[in-house]
């Protein structure tokens, strides 16, 4: 699969056509359904300041992207508290509680999300949310976005032996939905998530919600889009529809 720059759409219109007839679409949650990373960043920044992490200097956006965004909480705890994992796990649990409070006040969907979910529903496709987020977080975000009835299943990283960036969560979603990887694509916003999807053998649409394009390109997405209003996405979906109609 060839990664295509968000600024270079050459050949991108046909990048999903080989999936026809499409059976399913799989979505990450944080940063993919909603612009939640700023709220995670805010929660981590606030709580790390309280304990004097990094000599009291607030964590930067770059630090957040490199060490936190898209990662499972166990990996985050190990990165932040390498000498005291139990403390790290307790810290991440408290941080998630703060995040949920912030989400209830400030959460916003990624631009164009409901246009895409309508497209998926109109075609009767199967769909799953596949996330490294804790179960309570995923449930809160999906509920706040009004998508509880949209998803047929929600897969957490903890449901699998290995979370993202391993392919296990996406492979589990295929198994539960009883669909083929050859007729399914994924929407993701992080290197960890894109890596997992590519490793599972599916095309991944990378959404540059917060993570920089040059960072996401390292994971080799099939296509990068700004959001779900991006004309490149809809050109690709139109070609996919045409391919499905001709089968």
Terminal C-alpha separation, the chain: 22
Catalytic residue among 7, 28, 84, 241: 28
Instruction: Decide the pairing of beta strands 223-225 and 204-207.
Output: parallel
- Is 189 an annotated catalytic residue? no
Q: What is the largest CA-CA distance in the chain?
A: 62
Joined together, the tokens standing for residue 136 give: 């309570």
Contact by Cβ (8 Å): 7, 226: no
Question: What whole-number distance in Å separates Cα of residue 214 and Cα of residue 133?
Answer: 24
Catalytic residue among 7, 30, 37, 84: 30
Question: What whole-number distance in Å separates Cα of residue 162 and Cα of residue 190?
Answer: 17
- Is 227 an annotated catalytic residue? no
Question: Which stretches of 73-207 are DSSP H helices?
Answer: 73-80, 85-106, 113-122, 135-144, 168-177, 191-199
Question: What whole-number distance in Å separates Cα of residue 80 and Cα of residue 92?
Answer: 10
Question: What whole-number distance in Å separates Cα of residue 159 and Cα of residue 230?
Answer: 33
CA nearest 100: which of 69, 129, 133, 137? Answer: 137
Catalytic residues: 28, 30
């Amino acid at each position: 699969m060839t990664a295509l720059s968000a600024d270079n759409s050459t050949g991108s219109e046909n990048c999903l056509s080989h999936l026809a007839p499409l059976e399913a679409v799989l979505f990450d949650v944080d940063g993919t359904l909603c612009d939640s990373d700023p709220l995670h960043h805010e929660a981590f920044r606030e709580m790390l300041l309280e304990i004097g992490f990094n000599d009291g200097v607030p964590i930067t956006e770059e630090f957040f992207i490199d060490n936190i965004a898209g990662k499972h909480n166990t990996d985050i705890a190990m990165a932040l508290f390498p000498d005291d994992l139990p403390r790290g796990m307790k810290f991440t649990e408290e941080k998630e509680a703060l995040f949920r409070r912030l989400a209830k006040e400030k959460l916003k969907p990624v631009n164009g999300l409901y246009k895409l979910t309508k497209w998926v529903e109109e075609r009767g496709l199967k769909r799953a949310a596949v996330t490294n987020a804790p179960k309570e977080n995923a449930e809160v975000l999906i509920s706040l976005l009004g998508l509880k009835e949209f998803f047929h299943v929600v897969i957490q990283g903890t449901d699998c032996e290995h979370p993202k960036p391993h392919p296990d969560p996406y492979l589990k979603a295929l198994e539960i939905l009883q669909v083929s990887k050859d007729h399914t694509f994924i929407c993701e916003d992080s290197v960890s998530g894109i890596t997992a999807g590519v490793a599972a053998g599916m095309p991944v649409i990378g959404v540059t919600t917060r993570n920089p394009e040059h960072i996401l390109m390292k994971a080799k997405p099939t296509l990068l889009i700004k959001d779900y209003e991006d004309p490149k996405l809809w050109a690709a979906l139109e070609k996919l529809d045409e391919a499905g109609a001709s089968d």
